[in-house]
Amino acid sequence: MDNKISLLPVKSDFVFRLIFGDQRNVDILAAFLRSVLDIPNDEYDRLTIVDPYLKKESEDDKYAILDIKLHTVSGGIIHIEIQLRVLSDLAARTIYSQSKLVTEQMASGDKWSIIKRAITIIITDDIFVPEGDKYHHQFRYRTKDGIEFTDLSEINTLEYPTKNRIQTFLRKAS
């Protein structure tokens, strides 16, 4: 008799949120973030998971819910999204969400200096950046020769494609 228990995959939205999106598991979340991001260690001392709904400023605004949204010690915002497949609109959706993370920090009359760093992490089972040969890509505002404009906005992609997808990718690349 086979007593094998079938578990839900960690990469499903539901399980991912249960593990990483629960304040009781913030130590697991902090360990994950330390392995991905290049921010000071003290930023992880107090991570606060917050409402994942992006504010609508008007009735016509696009509605968006993030998988996980949290604040760091200094008020920086981190957004984590898990996407098993890279759909054609994922880059546009990411830019929209990233922009909202910045703009929702401001209200009329606020000084520009209150804007805190907004970081997005996209985890996918697919290849998101076919031009790259690494599994982790970091995107920030920089010139072609590497001069950084600002670090207030950053998008990271983590690609963990299955073996078959890697083989397909390698065939297309050759």
Structural domain contains residue 2? no
Position 162 scores a pLDDT of 63
Structural domain contains residue 8? no
Position 128 scores a pLDDT of 84
**Chain mean pLDDT for the chain:** 87
Structural domain contains residue 74? yes
Question: What does DSSP assign to residue 88?
Answer: T
Q: How many CB atoms lie within 10 A of CB 118?
A: 23
The domain tally of the chain equals 1
Q: Is the pLDDT of residue 165 over 90?
A: no
Provide mean pLDDT across the span 120-130.
88
Question: What's the pLDDT tens digit per position in 99-112?
Answer: 999 999 999 999 99
Question: What's the pLDDT tens digit per position in 5-57?
Answer: 777 777 778 888 888 999 999 999 999 999 999 999 999 999 999 989 888 78
- Describe the chain by its helix, strand, coil percentages, rounded to 5: 30, 25, 45
Range of the domain at 78: 13-173
Residue 81's nearest CA partner among 6, 168, 20 is 20
Residue 91's nearest CA partner among 139, 146, 55 is 139
Structural domain contains residue 47? yes
Provide mean pLDDT across the span 69-98.
93
